[in-house]
């Protein structure tokens, strides 16, 4: 089945906004095993819209159109859809009532120009939008079924999942129950994980399991898409595969599904009635910034201390100004973490110090990271070298720091070789501790 997407709107065409709706559509379709083969963007222009609809109607079997369903004069999708489908525009009384109810529930009177949103091609099938006034609809143009969706991202997302994907799956003859299982990891590259998971798809013999990846450095998302007759069928297929992924990727899995590293860390701190202080240099406050605005963080995060100057950093945690005079070392990071913990009254402190290479970017440019985690009873540390541009090192160091803290809080080894690291790392044999 040939699927195309048409994005409409001057804002997208002129680059005033980045077209993230298209990315969402194509990724969601990939997730369920469907592929987009062609995308077209046109502005709010009658001639170009009509030509785009007609040409896609000749090429495709299914077309998802995004945008142009609003109440203003430059929203042209219904009008041009009717023209391309050879149908009249007609008032859909049922949608008009839905809209009036929508406004009534919000104690407002519907403005007259919203009436335009209930004008649909007479042959249209309505696609429900339970969270907005833009009415989705489907019509046939040429040899393709067209699905018209709103430009507001959350309305699009819901309509896509609830209305359009089931129709596309039915049209494609695929098993329509589908489930996406996701694992988030840090420290292993995509091709490495691909190798580690070799043979995984074959564990489900009817070919209904698909393995995929989404790399967004520093994290990697490993995706398992499973189809089945129903959710019971899917769960039965998925259970042994999930277990196998957890076994093979082991300590590198930092979260699953909608969980995040930030949430996992805060939950682990809360569960052990702990609190955390963060000390950052070149990471410039990225670590505390990722944690502090999460719900419940106020009670768990004691303080974020950010400084590049060594003397300043030492003074800020209550050490003598020359305590880092020997440069950035594991011992130095340990001293900073211990002092920061005491100075701020936290149960845990994480210090991530970076010795960034001098000079301009070059092939082996990078930074040496010394990080330490201190508690009342011990301090653990790690030295690591990351190679890449300044932003790459900064992102990687913040992730490494937070991920080592996750490992520590979960009783896993803090030192375990990662793919992004140069080999100068000193591997310290360290027994796994029980989870706290």
Binding site for a copy of itself (CB under 8 A): 13-16, 18-20, 22-27, 30, 35-43, 45, 48, 51-52, 55, 59, 214-215, 282, 284-286, 288-289, 292-293, 297-299, 301-309, 312, 315-316, 344-345, 390, 394
Provide the 10 A C-beta neighbour count for residue 239. 10
Q: Which two tokens stand for residue 9?
A: 């709107």
- Report in angstroms how near the CB of residue 207 gets to a copy of itself at its nearest: 20
State how far the Cα of 245 lies from the Cα of 32, in Å rounded to an integer. Answer: 20
Cβ of residue 394: shortest distance to a copy of itself, in angstroms? 7
Residue closer to a copy of itself (CB basis): 120 or 305: 305
Name the residue nearer to a copy of itself (CB basis): 335 or 414: 335
**SS3 state of residue 355:** strand
Q: Which is nearer to a copy of itself, 244 or 355 (CB)?
A: 355
Report the distance separating Cα 401 and Cα 192, nearest Å.
Answer: 22
Q: Which is nearer to a copy of itself, 238 or 280 (CB)?
A: 280
Residue 255: both structure tokens together: 């979260």
Q: From 262, 289, 221, 254, select the one nearest 407 (Cα to Cα).
A: 254
Measured from the CB atom, the residue of 124 and 400 that comes closer to a copy of itself is 400
What token pair was written down for 242? 């999930």
17 DSSP assignment: S
CB of 24 to a copy of itself, least distance (A): 7
CB of 289 to a copy of itself, least distance (A): 4
Closest CB 313 distance from a copy of itself, rounded Å: 8
Distance CA 64, CA 37 (A): 12
**DSSP letters of 275-342?**
-EEEEESTTTTHHHHHHHTSTTHHHHEEEEEE-SSHHHHHHHTTS-TTTTTT-S-HHHHHHHHHHHHH
Q: How far is the CB of 293 from a copy of itself (least distance, A)?
A: 5
Q: With respect to a copy of itself, which residue has the nearer C-beta, 238 or 393?
A: 393
């Amino acid at each position: 089945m040939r699927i195309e997407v048409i994005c409409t709107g001057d804002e997208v065409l002129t680059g005033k906004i980045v077209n993230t709706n298209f990315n969402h559509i194509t990724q969601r379709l990939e997730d369920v095993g469907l592929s987009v083969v062609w995308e077209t963007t046109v502005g709010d222009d009658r001639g170009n819209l009509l030509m785009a609809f007609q040409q896609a109607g000749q090429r495709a079997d299914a077309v998802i159109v995004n945008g142009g369903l609003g109440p203003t004069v430059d929203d042209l999708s219904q009008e041009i859809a009717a023209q391309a489908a050879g149908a009249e525009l007609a008032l859909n009384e049922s949608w008009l009532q839905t809209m009036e109810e929508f406004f009534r529930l919000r104690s407002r009177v519907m403005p007259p120009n919203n009436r335009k949103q209930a004008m649909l091609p007479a042959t249209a099938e309505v696609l429900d939008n339970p969270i907005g006034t833009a009415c989705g609809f489907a019509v046939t143009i040429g040899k393709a079924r067209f699905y018209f969706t709103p430009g507001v991202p959350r309305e699009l997302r819901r309509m896509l999942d609830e209305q359009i994907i089931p129709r596309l799956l039915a049209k494609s003859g695929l098993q329509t129950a589908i489930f996406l299982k996701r694992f988030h990891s840090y420290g292993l590259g995509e091709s490495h994980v691909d190798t580690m998971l070799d043979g995984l798809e074959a564990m489900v013999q009817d070919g209904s399991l698909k393995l995929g990846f989404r790399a967004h450095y520093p994290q990697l998302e490993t995706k398992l898409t499973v189809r089945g007759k129903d959710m019971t069928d899917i769960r039965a297929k998925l259970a042994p595969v999930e277990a196998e992924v957890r076994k093979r990727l082991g300590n590198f899995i930092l979260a699953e599904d909608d969980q995040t590293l930030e949430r996992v860390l805060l939950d682990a701190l809360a569960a052990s009635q702990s609190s955390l202080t963060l000390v950052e240099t070149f990471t410039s406050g990225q670590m505390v910034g990722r944690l502090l605005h999460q719900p419940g963080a106020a009670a768990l995060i004691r303080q974020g201390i950010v400084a590049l100057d060594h003397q300043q950093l030492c003074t800020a945690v209550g050490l003598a100004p020359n305590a880092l005079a020997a440069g950035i070392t594991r011992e130095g990071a340990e001293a900073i973490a211990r002092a920061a913990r005491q100075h701020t009254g936290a149960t845990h402190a994480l210090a991530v110090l970076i010795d960034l290479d001098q000079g301009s970017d070059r092939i082996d440019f990078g930074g040496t990271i010394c990080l330490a985690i201190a508690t009342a009873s011990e301090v653990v540390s790690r030295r690591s070298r990351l190679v890449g541009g300044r932003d790459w090192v900064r992102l990687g160091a913040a992730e490494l720091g937070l991920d080592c803290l996750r490992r520590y809080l979960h009783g896993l080894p803090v030192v375990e070789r990662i793919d992004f690291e140069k080999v100068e790392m000193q591997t310290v044999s360290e027994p796994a501790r029980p989870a706290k």
